[in-house]
Amino acid sequence: MSVEEKLKQGPREGITYPLQVVYCGNCSMPIEYCEYYPEYEKCKHWLEVNLPSEFEKVKIGDDNPVEEEKKRQKRGGKGMIKTKKKEDGPKQVCVSRAPRGKKKSVTVVTGLSSFDIDLKVAAKFFGTKFACGSSVTGDDEIVIQGDVKDDLFDVIPEKWPEIDEDLIEDLGDQKR
């Protein structure tokens, strides 16, 4: 049916006139408005008892949100927190230099997990790339044995294109 035909007033094919409006016995509104009624659950119950065929339609329309809600609940508060965290803090990787021994420095990389990067894989990659020790040292921290901080601004975006150089924050030198 074309738009013009749809907009045309008057009887349409395939529809039985007069239009039947089904009213809800609980809230006395046409049943399509029940969902806006605060006691929608009661309305649904009324439908289930009195108009099972209409209830089926309502139920089908309702199923998906419920499923979604369940999934969200299964993931627990964690899912919510994670979402919130992402909104609050921008994704960012931080690199800094930390003294190790008298002359040596190590490089500390944090924030890679905000890009869903597997830290073990990342640590191994840095170790291979810089031919030095590299290990996961915290929840979201990798320590690379050597001063490779400046190199990371090239190496990280090259390895993970989603991390733009601008998303890497240079925290400078950590104080002892």
**Residue with token string 């909104």:** 87
43 scored as a contact of Zn ion (CB under 5 A): yes
Q: Which of 12, 34, 80, 165 binds Zn ion (CB under 5 A)?
A: 34
Pairing of strands 168-173, 93-100: parallel
**Phi, psi of 168, deg, nearest 5:** -100, 120
Instruction: From 28-36, 124-132, 141-149, 161-169, give the range in contact with Zn ion by CB under 5 A.
Output: 28-36
Q: Which of 27, 123, 143, 152 binds Zn ion (CB under 5 A)?
A: 27
Q: Token pair of 136, please?
A: 């996961």
CB 137 within 8 A of CB 100: no
54 scored as a contact of Zn ion (CB under 5 A): no
Instruction: From 20-28, 49-57, 124-132, 154-162, give the range in contact with Zn ion by CB under 5 A.
Output: 20-28
Nearest distance from C-beta of residue 53 to Zn ion, angstroms? 16
Of 30 and 133, which CB lies nearer to Zn ion in the complex structure? 30
26 scored as a contact of Zn ion (CB under 5 A): yes
Of 54 and 147, which CB lies nearer to Zn ion in the complex structure? 54
Q: Token pair of 23, please?
A: 């009213």
Q: How far are the Cα atoms of 62, 104, 162 from residue 27, in angstroms, in the given order?
A: 19, 76, 52
What is the total count of residues that contact Zn ion (CB under 5 A)?
A: 5
Buried b (16+ CB within 10 A) or exposed e, 87-105: eeeeeebbbbbbeeeeeeb
58 scored as a contact of Zn ion (CB under 5 A): no
Of 55 and 125, which CB lies nearer to Zn ion in the complex structure? 55
95 scored as a contact of Zn ion (CB under 5 A): no
Nearest distance from C-beta of residue 20 to Zn ion, angstroms? 16
Instruction: Give the full edge-to-edge strand order of the sheet including 134-138.
Output: 134-138, 141-144, 104-110, 93-100, 168-173
Of 34 and 143, which CB lies nearer to Zn ion in the complex structure? 34
98: enclosing H helix or E strand:
strand 93-100
Binding interface with Zn ion (CB under 5 A):
24, 26-27, 34, 43
